A and B are shown apart, each in its own frame.
Chain A
Amino acid sequence: MTSIKPTEKLRTRDVIAAAKKNEKFGKIIPHLLLAVTSVTVLATFGIIYTLLKETFIFFQEVKITDFIFGTEWAPFSNADQAFGVLPLITGTLKIAGVALLIGVPFGLACAIFLSEYATPKIKKFIKPIIELLAGIPTIVYGFFALTVVTPWLQSFIPQLKLFNALSAGIVVGIMILPMIISLSEDALSAVPASFREGSYALGSTRFETAIKVVFPAAISGIAASIILAASRAVGETMIVSLAAGSTPVFNMDFTGSIQTMTSYIVQVATGDAGYGTTIYYSIYAVGFMLFLFTFLMNRAALYIKTKFREEY
């Protein structure tokens, strides 16, 4: 800062010329930022490296084909220990499937309502509530599933077990709602108003306009939001650990206890598997599998969003 002020004699340009800027500091900034960024990059590589290294050790003890195609997951069995990951994958897919079955229709209906029907006033009222939903810790969702949803479902599905895929899936579906709603609503709202006008001017109703013009125009963003939500559901840990049980089964039953990739990792990590045992390494292999799932889904979402963006 400088105390020189423009006067009749002194023009602003002279004051600017006289003002001393701390050039040294300005030159350090990019280096500082680069350093901070490098830490992030290194952390990412560090995590992936650890994951890969331990996974590699695991596959020296268990055949990779037995792992990928095996239908029995019995790591704690002394007699016939088995590391076939398919039961964990089916468990994970059951949760994600139920979650999407709940989350997609409800989420898209909400998004269409908010972007095409709601007045600003209603929007102002509903949006904070959805944000509230997004702010609920997953552990709370978990015991909501266990203590509210399961007993309620049991009142009309008597064979439903205390720990089951169905109620955990439903609650994961509720958990991913805010994500689907807000991302899809962004995509719908980004559709130019002139498309809606064109459609109304031809005599279409609000609903026809929403479904036949606005929705297709926003489809890439909506698809991306669904895939990201699916990826969230696949990676969800707390709700399934609490409400879905820990029984790795390879079947199509939604009423009984299952185990997902995430809840297996929790089970081992919170148990007392010794360092260096096959069980210890198995959580890395499962973790790597999970990482592959979510990584590919996130890439797919990004790809769809950029590749299929409407050209208007």
Chain B
Amino acid sequence: MTTTLVRPTEDAKLRVMKNENWTKAVYETNGLNLWYGTAHALKNIDLSINEKEVTAIIGPSGCGKSTYLKTLNRMVENVGDVTISGNVTFMGNNILGKAMSVELLRSKVGMVFQKPNPFPKSIYENVAYGPKIHGIRNKAMLDMIVEDSLRKAALWDEVKDRLNKSAYSLSGGQQQRLCIARCLAVDPEVILMDEPTSALDPVSTHKVEELIRTIKNDVTIAIVTHNMQQAARISDRTAFFLNGEIVECDRTSTLFSTPTDERTEDYINGRFG
């Protein structure tokens, strides 16, 4: 990498975020319940997401993986009639309370969606959007952030000559890496990924997995995937969800080699779901 990025030194917002009780787990979830209307989608979830680890969330369709992920950045409330109880802390701060600013939370917690969703703007503007929203105006600074983020997302070499072209001139796989770069541009603590490669071909999938492996030195990642091999390849820990509950959560190598619950074993061996 040629540029070294100088971030604003005083990260006051982050210090606000880092509560003194905060230890290793970036996210602590205790007794989380969630209802869509009257449908009980998450039941008594207890789960920690550790700093600079990749946590994979697996489970059959409809078991609540996306719901859980969207609770972590409170996007779940956007659907309307949602009731939440229990405790979720991010760096020691209760995120479900009224006092939590969702904008601040989401500036610390990025999200990558199943279908790439770049804005209908140029490649540059897509990446610069987050920093601009959060108050960075300096052009040189923005240029640096854009380049840095695109490099981290392993996209720089492919797009450096056409930064002003529409994001929609990119292939699906490139668009998804652009969305990851867009996330990285606000320098988040955590990135939540909801089946980020399910719309991609194997080569693009491989590239995204590679980049997850490199950025995890820097960011904490929670990833939902239907692909067992992917979970096994890239994650440090894996949580298995079933019907809104966590059946088992362990180190990935342990969970895949010697699952303690029969249902986990059945699922990872493709016997149901």
Contacts and interface: CB of A to CB of B under 8 A. Distances in A.
Interface in A199-233: 199-205, 208, 212-213, 216-217
Given A197-B117, A216-B121, A202 B183 contact: yes
A131 interface: no
B105 A203 contact: yes
A208 B107 CA distance: 14
Contact of A194 (B105, B113, B166, B168): B113
A217 B75 contact: no
Contacts of A216: 120-121
B117 A194 contact: yes
Given A212-B133, A311-B166, A312-B168, A201 B120 contact: no
Interface in B201-219: none
B139 to A, nearest CB: 17
B179 A197 contact: no
Contacts, number: 69
A200 B186 CA distance: 13
Nearest to A196: B78
A310 interface: yes
A153 B36 CA distance: 53
B182 interface: yes
Given A198-B182, A311-B168, A204 B133 contact: yes
Contacts of A192: 117
A202 B127 CA distance: 11
A197 B130 CA distance: 13
A202 B129 contact: yes
Interface residues of B, number: 29
A199 B133 CA distance: 10
A195 interface: yes
A312 B126 CA distance: 14
A217 B125 CA distance: 13
Nearest to B126: A198
Nearest to B185: A202
B194 to A, nearest CB: 10
B208 to A, nearest CB: 17
Contacts of B115: 194
B5 interface: no
A200 B133 contact: no
A242 B228 CA distance: 75
Interface string B173-206: 0000001001100100000000000000000000
Contact of B106 (A201, A217, A312): A201
B110 interface: yes
Contacts of A203: 102-108, 130, 133-134, 186
B220 interface: no
Nearest to B192: A201
Nearest to A213: B119
A195 to B, nearest CB: 6
A200 B110 contact: no
B75 A202 contact: no
13 contacts: A194-B117, A195-B117, A197-B111, A198-B113, A198-B182, A200-B75, A200-B106, A201-B113, A201-B183, A208-B133, A212-B133, A216-B120, A312-B168
Interface of B: 73, 75, 78, 102-108, 110-111, 113, 115, 117-121, 129-130, 133-134, 166, 168, 179, 182-183, 186
